[in-house]
């Protein structure tokens, strides 16, 4: 069953480079409604919990260091077919393969510092949204 919500984070590189306003504007212009949003800092331990699914990957340690290197902006978004549409909107994980006009094509620096995250399933969108926002914050 598909839901109408997804989860995203603007990552440390994009926040530090001053791209968060432009990215949020793109998100809203693409028809996604912001349900929850904040600016926060992950510890390396919390980043490790969030990306636990990648714990066995060779890039896991670097990823945890990078994701805790500066503030991030997590958000819950709403739109029909949100998960799939948002992944199309942000582009491929590797910015070299990202389509023209996508957030990653515009702002990603590398496969790791790729500007933005988008949940890969409805189930993970719910889990990831709950990781950052309490029940009363995601109404
Ligand atoms: P994201 O879509 O948030 O999900 C997992 C993250 O791991 C990914 O974005 C990148 O930031 C990072 N990542 C994925 N593949 C690689 C890779 N091959 N090398 C380094 N980092 C990666």
Give the model's pLDDT for residue 59. 97
Cα–Cα dist 21/43, whole Å: 24
- Cα 57 to averaged position of ligand 1 atoms, centre (Å): 10
20-46 residues labelled b (16+ CB within 10 A) or e (exposed): beebbebbeeeebeebbbeeeebeeeb
For every one of its 139 residues, what pLDDT tens digit does the chain have, with 9 covering 90 and above?
Answer: 567 999 999 999 999 999 999 999 999 999 999 999 999 999 999 999 999 999 999 999 999 999 999 999 999 999 999 999 999 999 999 999 999 999 999 999 999 999 999 999 999 999 999 999 999 998 8
Give the model's pLDDT for residue 137. 93
Range of the domain at 126: 5-137
Of the candidates 117, 119, 125, 129, the residue annotated as catalytic is 117
Is residue 19 among the annotated active site residues? Answer: no
Which of 13, 15, 63, 118 maximizes ligand 1 atoms within 8 Å of its Cβ, making it the mutation to test the pocket?
Answer: 63
Cα–Cα dist 77/27, whole Å: 9
Number of domains in the chain: 1
- Cα 60 to averaged position of ligand 1 atoms, centre (Å): 8
Give the model's pLDDT for residue 68. 98
State the CATH number of the domain containing residue 30.
3.30.70.141
Phi-psi region of 105 (alpha: psi -120 to 50; beta: other; left: phi over 0): alpha
Q: Which residue's alpha carbon is nearest to atom 3 within ligand 1? A: 117
Residue among 58, 61, 37, 30 at smallest CA distance from 48: 61
Cα–Cα dist 79/34, whole Å: 9
Cα–Cα dist 79/4, whole Å: 5
Q: What is the DSSP string of 46-100?
A: HHHHHTGGGTTSTTHHHHHHHHTSS-BEEEEEE-TTHHHHHHHHH--SSGGGPPT
Q: Which atom of ligand 1 is nearest to the CA of 66?
A: 11
Give the model's pLDDT for residue 138. 87
């Amino acid at each position: 069953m598909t839901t109408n919500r997804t989860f995203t984070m603007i990552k440390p590189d994009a926040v530090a480079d001053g791209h968060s306003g432009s990215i949020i504007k793109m998100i809203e212009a693409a028809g996604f409604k912001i349900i929850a949003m904040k600016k926060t800092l992950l510890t390396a331990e919390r980043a490790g919990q969030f990306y636990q699914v990648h714990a066995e990957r060779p890039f896991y340690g670097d990823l945890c260091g990078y994701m805790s290197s500066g503030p991030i902006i997590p958000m819950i978004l709403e739109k029909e077919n949100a998960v799939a549409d948002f992944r199309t909107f942000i582009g491929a994980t590797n910015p070299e393969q990202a389509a023209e006009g996508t957030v990653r094509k515009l702002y990603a620096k590398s496969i790791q510092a790729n500007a933005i995250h988008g949940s890969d399933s409805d189930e993970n969108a719910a889990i990831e949204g709950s990781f950052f926002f309490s029940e009363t914050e995601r109404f």
